[in-house]
Structure 1
Amino acid sequence: MTNQFGGSWTDQKMAIVVAYAKAYLTIMKEQRWAKTIYFDGFAGSGSIKDNSSLRNNNCLLDSNAEMSTAEDIKKGTALRILDISEPKPFDLYYFVEKNESYQQQLLHQIGRRYVDRKCHVVKGDCNKKLNDLAGFLKQNNEFRALCFIDPYGMSVKWSSIEALRGLGVDLWILVPTGVSANRVLVNDGNIPDVWLNSLEIFLGLKRDDIKRKFYKEVIQHNLFGDDLTLVEKERDTVNKLGKLYAERLQTVFNFVSESFVLRNSMNSIMYHFMMGTNNPVALKIANDVIKPKYKL
C-alpha cells in the first residue's frame, strides 16, 4: 500500500523541502560543532501513488484501471531526503507516522535501501513527538533540527508549535488554509462548538478572537423599515488564514518566510506552505527557494 496523492502541488512541496534541505546541509557542513536532525511528523509509507494517470485514463470500465504501474509510484519526501548524500547526510533522521501500516512500510524501505543512515521510524502522534523533540533539543545543545510537517487537516496543535520556541529549529509546515480551516468557517458564523474547539487548538486563539478576524456584522433593512443585524464571513478568508498563521508563527520564531501557495487543478488554494526559523540566513534561503521557481 502507498500513500495516494496527486497533482503538481505534491511535487512542488517535495521539491521545496529537498532544495531547502540541500542548502541547509551545505551551511551546516561548515558548522563542525553542530549535529543535524531531520524530523518528519507525518512521514507516510515512503512512496506516493500518483493518481493523475488514472484520472486521465478514459477506460473507466477496464478492470485493471486501479492497478499501479512502476511509473505511477514515486518516492515520498522521506526517501528523497534520505537520498541526499551531498553536501552531507543528516546525522539523525526521525520519522513519525501514526498509521501502523505506513510506518512498517517506511521502516522496510529504509532497512532495504538506507542501511547507512541513522534512522528512527516510530508509530506515534506528531504533537507528542514535537514536544519530545523540544525536550531533546533543550538537553542536547549541539543539535539543530529541520522539521517538515505535512499534517492531516488541522491535527497539529498550536501548543506543539509553541514548544519549539527559542530552539535551533527550522520548521516547514503545510497549513491547510483551503482544505480544512476555511471550510469550518461557515458563512453565517454559526460554527458548531466542535469545529470552534478545533480552530482554537489549531490557531492557539480564543473563539471570540477568531470570529472577530473572520466575520463582520452587517446592518440590513427589512420591508418594514426595521434594522436587522446579520453576521457575514469576510472575503478572501483563505489568504487571511495564511496571513494569520504566519503571524502566529512569528510569536514562536524570529522570522517567517513568505508563503508558497499550493493550488489544485481548479486553481483553488489548498495550502499555504511556510517556514519559521530563528536564523536570518535560513530565512533568506527559504525565500530564495520559493521565489524564483515555485512561487505562483
Structure 2
Amino acid sequence: MTPKQPNSDTKHHQFGGQWTIRKLTVLAGYLQSYTTALKDKPTAESPFRKAFIDAFAGSGYRDVRHDADNSHESQSLLFPDLAGDEPQALLDGSAKLALQTEPPFDRYIFIDRSPARCARLEELKSEFPDRADRIDIQQGDANEKIQDLCETDWRSHRAVLFLDPYGMQVEWKSIEAVARTQAIDLWLLFPLGIGVNRLLTRSGDIPDSWRQRLNLLLGTQDWYDEFYRIETTPTLFGTEQERVVKASMETIGRYFNHRLKQIFAGVIEEPGVLRSSLNNPLYLLCFAVGNVRGKPVALRIAEHLLKEVR
C-alpha cells in the first residue's frame, strides 16, 4: 500500500511549502513501514504495543514567541515570513498521517502546550472514531511530557517519536531520555539554519541567553570550541593577526549527528536537509534508532526515504 501523501493544499502548507511536504512524506513512509514490520512482533500471541508520539502536535510557533518574548531570541527565532498557516499544516500533517497509517498504532500521543490547540486535537477523535479510544491528548511542556513517558517500562512497548518544534525548544536531556528506553525510534528536526547558526555570531561574542539555549539543545558547553577557532596570519610588519573563524553549517550538523551517535543504537549518517525556497538549509531531518535488534531494518527504511531529502 502506498503511504498517504500529506495534503499539499497551499492554504494548509503556506508555512513551509515544499520542505514541509517533504518532511511529512518521509514520516508517512516510515510510519507505514514501521507498523508493517512490527506486526506480530516479537510473537503473534504477544506483540509489542506500538505508539506514535508527536511532542509538538499543534505547532511550536506561539510557544517560541511566548518563551522568547523578552529576550534576544525573539528576533532570532521568530520569522513571520515563514509562519503562514503552520498550526493547520502540522495538524493536518503529522497527526492525521499517523492516524491514517495501516496497520494502525495501538496508541497515539499528541502533546502541545496550548489548551486551544489541544482542543483542536481532541476533534480528531470524532474524525477517526474507530481510533478515538487510542488517542491521548496531553497538554503541557513537551520536554517534561517526553521525560515522563520515557520513565515508564518499555520492555513490551515500541514507539516512533516525532520532534518537530518551530524553534529550539527541544532539550538534550529529553533526547537522552528517549535513547535510554532502547525502544523508541526518533525523527527530529534539528534547527540548523533557522536556529543554531543564527545564534552563533561571527564574532564569537554570544549573549548569555543564547548560550544557555544552545547548552540546553546540545547538552554540553563544549560546542563553543567545536564551532569556533582562532586563525593566526602573519602581517607585513612581522606581527601576527588573529581572527575568529565560525564553523560551517556542515560542521554544525555533523557535530549534532555525532552527539546522537553517542547515545542511540543507530543513527543515519547523512540526515535529510530541509531547505527554504532560496535553497538555504533550515533544518536537518535526523533519524535515530532506539533498539539494537531493530537497527538494521529501521536504518535501511530511513535511508531509502531520506534519499529524496538531501
Q: TM-score, normalised by structure 2?
A: 0.78
Which whole-Å CA distance do the structure 1 matches of 2:106 and 2:34 have between them?
A: 13
Residue equivalent to 2:255: 244
Pick one of 28, 52, 58 that aligns with 2:38.
28
Identity of aligned residues (%): 36
> Is the counterpart of residue 255 in structure 1 residue 266 in structure 2?
yes
Residue equivalent to 2:57: 43
Pick one of 120, 127, 133 that aligns with 2:136.
120
Is there any run of 5+ residues in structure 1 with no aligned partner, and where?
46-67
Residue equivalent to 2:304: 288
Number of residue pairs matched by the alignment: 261
Structure of greater Rg: 1
Pick one of 193, 197, 203 that aligns with 1:178.
193
Which whole-Å CA distance do the structure 2 matches of 1:140 and 1:173 have between them?
A: 20
Pick one of 17, 20, 23 that aligns with 1:10.
20
Displacement of 1:34: 0.8
Which amino acid in 2 is paired with 1:133? L
CA contact 1:36–1:144 (8 Å) conserved in 2: yes
SS at match of 1:127: helix
Displacement of 1:20: 0.3
Q: Which has the higher helix share?
A: 2
Which whole-Å CA distance do the structure 1 matches of 2:197 and 2:229 have between them?
A: 16
Is there any run of 5+ residues in structure 2 with no aligned partner, and where?
1-11, 60-84
CA contact 1:3–1:44 (8 Å) conserved in 2: no
CA contact 2:58–2:91 (8 Å) conserved in 1: no
Residue equivalent to 1:218: 231
Which whole-Å CA distance do the structure 1 matches of 2:299 and 2:160 have between them?
A: 13
1:98-142 superposed Cα distances (whole Å, 9 cap, x missing partner):
12221111112x122112211011111111111112112xx2421
Which whole-Å CA distance do the structure 1 matches of 2:187 and 2:201 have between them?
A: 28
1:36-61 superposed Cα distances (whole Å, 9 cap, x missing partner):
0100010017xxxxxxxxxxxxxxxx
Displacement of 1:77: 1.1
SS at match of 1:75: helix
Runs of 4+ residues over 6 Å off in structure 1: none
Compared CA separation, residues 102 and 215, structure 1 to 2 (3 A):
same
Pick one of 184, 193, 197 that aligns with 2:208.
193
Which amino acid in 2 is paired with 1:218? E
SS at match of 1:231: strand
Displacement of 1:173: 0.3
Residue equivalent to 1:62: none
Compared CA separation, residues 26 and 154, structure 1 to 2 (3 A):
same
Compared CA separation, residues 288 and 73, structure 1 to 2 (3 A):
closer
1:87-102 aligned within 5 A: 88-102=103-117
Which amino acid in 2 is paired with 1:246? N
> Is the counterpart of residue 269 in structure 1 residue 281 in structure 2?
yes
> Is the counterpart of residue 157 in structure 1 residue 171 in structure 2?
yes
Compared CA separation, residues 205 and 91, structure 1 to 2 (3 A):
same
Comparing 238-247 and 214-223, the one that deviates more: 214-223
CA contact 1:177–1:239 (8 Å) conserved in 2: no
Which amino acid in 2 is paired with 1:243? R
Q: Which has the higher strand share?
A: 1
> Is the counterpart of residue 144 in structure 1 residue 158 in structure 2?
yes
Pick one of 118, 129, 139 that aligns with 1:103.
118
1:61-76 aligned within 5 A: 75-76=92-93
